[in-house]
Amino acid sequence: MSIILVSIPFYDRKAELSALEEAVSSKRAELIILYGRRRIGKTALSRKLLEQHSGAYVYVGSSSIREFLANASRAMGRTFTSLDDFLEHVFLEFGRENKILVLDEYQRISKKLSPKIQYHWDASARKSWVKLILLGSTIGMIERDIGYAGPLYGRATRVIRLNGFDYETVREIFGEKGEEEIIKIYSILGGTPHYLMLYERTKTIEENIRNMFLSPGAPLYEEVERLLSIELRDSSRYLEILEAVSMGKRTLKEISDYTSLERSQLKKYLLILEKLTLIEREASIIGKGIPRYKFRDNFFNFYMRFIHPNVPFIE
């Protein structure tokens, strides 16, 4: 089975692009953290910026320093022999030209590179106009690197979190469709750009669901399981919690009863799911009442309610 990727023009992101444009136009060095869950559009946004400004894009494929230096050498047109050699060039030569450098999937090498960036930033940032943009997933990089004890704490000049598209943007993307179909698309795929790109406009909703979800080779088959396994060491408890929310268990007590987790322990899991932007906590407008949890994006609600329980039957 083949899936045709629909080419979707660059939509929305006006606020994020404006913030990035302001940063790259500044007369100082900028260390920009652009983060969000996978497939949310970080790479597309950075490439859009590079269409308008001079710079380089480096994809971090693994934690290997040798591989990273090879990729950086190809992207920047010169050979680097060490991380210090690379960063000296970034700050003292590349930076003098006010260029942008994007490091994508930065979390894969952040443990090795962030302490080096800390040193070179402190030593050379005042003499440089470099615009260094680090793209990464939410938990690992943000908490470890720019948290209070992290090497980039106090050095990041801008921190931007990228969220999914809202309904109005999805409506713009599928403007030729009827309102009812657009509502269904948004109810199933939410606002994640990558998922929306998989939708085949010439096929029905049912055909799209079958092609995207309902076979071991489908592109969104076990998507949530994969996403959690990449971000977390043990995803089983988190899947149970997401399953509970999809079943309408929305209060702490209801989720605790469903998962058999103590409330104190459950709160830690819920906090991580909030940081991953999978769920959010709703509080009463007047500040009273029991907080309730819900999915931030429709895709995860649809997947956990209808796909995840039926994976054994799909297999």
Is the domain of 199 the same as that of 85? no
Regarding whether 18 and 52 lie in a shared domain, the answer is: yes
- Average pLDDT over every residue of 276-286: 83
**pTM value?**
0.89
- E strands within the chain? 30-35, 55-59, 100-104, 131-136, 158-161, 279-282, 292-295
What's the pLDDT tens digit per position in 209-253?
999 999 878 999 999 999 999 888 889 999 999 999 999 999 999
For the stretch 139-159, pLDDT in tens is 667 778 888 889 999 999 999
Q: Tell whether 306 is covered by a domain.
A: yes
Please indicate, yes or no, whether residues 151 and 177 belong to a single structural domain of this protein.
no
For the chain, what percent of residues have pLDDT higher than 90?
79
Is residue 6 assigned to a domain? no
Task: State the average pLDDT over residues 291-309.
Answer: 95
Q: Are 13 and 45 in contact (CB under 8 A)?
A: yes
Query: Where residue 170 falls among pLDDT bands split at 50, 70, 90?
Result: very high
Tell me whether residue 214 is in a domain.
Answer: yes
Cα–Cα distance measured from residue 63 to residue 297, given in angstroms and rounded to the nearest whole number: 30
Residues 156, 174 within the same domain: no
Residues 104 and 242 in one domain: no
- Residue 9 included in any domain: no
Residue 7 has pLDDT above 50, yes or no: no
Q: What is the pLDDT of residue 284?
A: 67
Q: Which domain holds residue 269?
A: 222-315
The CATH number assigned to the domain holding 83 equals 3.40.50.300
Q: How far is CA 174 from CA 74, 166, 184, in A?
A: 38, 13, 11
Whether residue 155 is found in the same domain as residue 198: no
Question: Is residue 285 domain-resident?
Answer: yes
Q: What distances in angstroms separate CA 154 from CA 66, 112, 167, 250, one per listed residue?
A: 29, 19, 35, 37
What is the average per-residue pLDDT within 119-139? 92
3 in a domain, yes or no? no
DSSP tag of 205: H
